[in-house]
Amino acid sequence: MPASFADDTTARIKQSISIVDLIGEDVTLTRRGRTFKGLCPFHDDHNPSFDVDPERQSYRCWSCGEKGDIFSYLMTREGMGFREALEVLAQKAGIVLPARHSAGADSPKNILYDVLRWAENEFQRCLLDSPLAEPARRYVTQRRLNAESIQRFRLGFAPNDWEWLLARARARGYDAELLEKCGLAKRRPSGGTGHYDAFRGRLMFPIRDARGRTVAFGGRILPDFESEAQPKYLNSPETAVFSKGEQLFGLDAAREAISDARSAVVVEGYTDCIMAHQHGVRHVVGTLGTALGERHVRELKRYTERIVLVFDGDEPGQKAADRALGLFLGHELDLRVFSPPRGLDPCDFLLERGGEEFRAGVAAARDALEFKFERAEALLEAGSIDGRRRALDAVLETIAAIPVVAMGSIPLKREMILDRVAHRYGVASDLVRKRVSELRGAASRRRVAAVATGPARPSAASRNERPEERELLEIVLADPARLHEVAEAIAPVDIQAPDLRRIFETAVAMLRGDGASDLDGLRLRLDDRELACRATQLAETGREKTAPVERRLADLLARFHAPRAAAEAMEIRRGWSAVAGSDDGEIALLARKQAAVLARHRKNPRTDAGGGPVARGAPPENVAS
């Protein structure tokens, strides 16, 4: 996403959402002068040490050191990445996010789209025509997938060969690294060389985005090639064009039918989705082996406000439907659940009972809260008083586990839900609300503890961060206008700490690509929660320092250059010793090298290893002239 997009959009979000209001949903804040104070939500705080500054739209804990803005608060509190925090807060602010990338930024991805479409064609030709695909054709026949479905969903076959696709890619002019970027090839383990095909012996399901572009593949291992070492289903890894947390299988084929039906049916498997379309139920999409998530729902809400979950009738399928209740509570949508008879998955149900009975089941689906009531009461034997209490707690725990930020924009719906729960169990509404608050506090503390302890955040010392590296990043992140000057003088390889080097590399690449380097654009590019939070903290620390930036920066650059200058001087000393008594040509060559080094020093004076200035206009001492 271009830096200017991130800068403009995040600025609008910050203007629309008060950090005091946002944090105040979790923490009791009291005004103290120009700031607000409360107990820190990030550690076991007993004396208020948490400051929220409404003017700077920032927070800081003076005890544990946590600091940042509304984005880093949500990232740390809920364990989100920056992109997800951006989407949640944009929705809360009522701001529609524009397209993620400009046309110029998209151009490198077009190559990946081309390669993925080429691979899709190769896999399908193999399934239809190659003798190698006979096991796949038998399997497709057994699963009763017809020729129309194979063509509509472009099914294919990846032979059980380590380099079948790689060999065709070489003939096409695609190198192995390009296939790796598409998730179609993997590097051999350490000690080996080259690449191998990521998919082998599998029926291939192309995964397309809503625009119909192939972005990834799912592969089902065929019975002929099954082994304990191979997963039954394998999806492409995350790539520049694919995120399984936001893609839905079959959406490109279903979106018009979803709009027409004013509802979307969500199933778990590829064949479940394909079989529904084969039986004329076209408003069906499938998840990719992951739970239905926030980004899936936001994508579906572009087409409909009504979603029906049709998960397997067994216990794992019912648990998946149970977990999805949070999506109903956190969004303005009508979520319903259709549970096939126990033991049947949607594909089997369709084959046994047909499309019309499947449609009838979808039309009669229970709303998600009713499904939760019935499931909790069945599992916890709600016939007794104690069982009824446990069932009530199970329902309220689901409500309490949803982050307040997700519910904050729809308080009326939340109140109606709590009233409905109170009526169902014959409990006073105020007691239900009090119990939800207790459970929410416990759930929130568990989330923070999980983020804080798994894995534990290493200290600056354990990260092997040199103070000068840390301070340099503080300066360029607090004042991005300084980045150009620093990037001219310092290379990423000069920074030893891996996290700081990656942040600096990303900032420099962004500067050279987009011509800008704002913090929000950087956090979006990093797309790593820990690194994005680290960048935020470095920027906040840099803004707090009052010493003149010019002097600090000059001193830092001199400290970075000192080891390099000393190494260059030592190399010249060794060179003079080595060519002593040699012919004039070698001496002249070394003299020219020395002159180039000294000219660079005149342009950008540096210090030697002892802290003094490198001598100008003369060879280093103890070097024979």
DSSP assignment of 572-612: HHHHHHHHTT--HHHHHHHHHHHHHHHHHHHHS--B-TTSS
Quick count: other Cβ atoms within 10 Å of Cβ 590?
Answer: 19
What per-residue confidence (pLDDT) applies to 436? 83
Buried b (16+ CB within 10 A) or exposed e, 114-126: ebbbbbbebbbeb
- Given a contact cutoff of 8 angstroms between Cβ atoms, the answer to whether 50 and 59 are in contact is yes
Return the higher-pLDDT residue of 180 and 441. Answer: 180
Q: Coil, helix or strand for 570?
A: helix
Count of all residues that appear for the chain in the document: 625
Residue among 119, 137, 118, 117 at smallest CA distance from 127:
137
Q: Answer whether residue 313 shows pLDDT above 80.
A: no
What per-residue confidence (pLDDT) applies to 31? 92
Q: 221-257: per-residue pLDDT in tens? A: 999 999 888 899 999 988 888 888 789 999 999 999 9
pLDDT grade, residue 346 (50/70/90)? very high
pLDDT grade, residue 220 (50/70/90)? very high
- Given a contact cutoff of 8 angstroms between Cβ atoms, the answer to whether 52 and 28 are in contact is no
The DSSP output letter for 180 is: H
Over residues 555-566, the mean pLDDT reads: 70
Over residues 522-538, the mean pLDDT reads: 82
What per-residue confidence (pLDDT) applies to 180? 94
Q: Answer whether residue 283 shows pLDDT above 90.
A: yes
Q: 401-415: per-residue pLDDT in tens? A: 665 544 444 567 778
Q: Give percent above pLDDT 90 in the chain.
A: 32
What per-residue confidence (pLDDT) applies to 90? 87
Q: 485-500: per-residue pLDDT in tens? A: 888 888 888 888 888 9
What per-residue confidence (pLDDT) applies to 599? 52
- Given a contact cutoff of 8 angstroms between Cβ atoms, the answer to whether 296 and 375 are in contact is no
Q: Report helix angle 411-425 to 368-379, nearest 10.
A: 40
pLDDT grade, residue 118 (50/70/90)? very high
What per-residue confidence (pLDDT) applies to 456? 46
Over residues 355-370, the mean pLDDT reads: 92
Return the higher-pLDDT residue of 116 and 40. Answer: 116
What per-residue confidence (pLDDT) applies to 51? 94
346 φ, ψ to 5°?
A: -55, -35
List of long-range contacts for 354-361, beta carbons under 8 Å, 24+ apart: 354/279, 355/276, 355/279, 355/280, 355/281, 358/276, 358/279, 358/281, 359/281, 361/310
Q: Give percent above pLDDT 70 in the chain.
A: 77
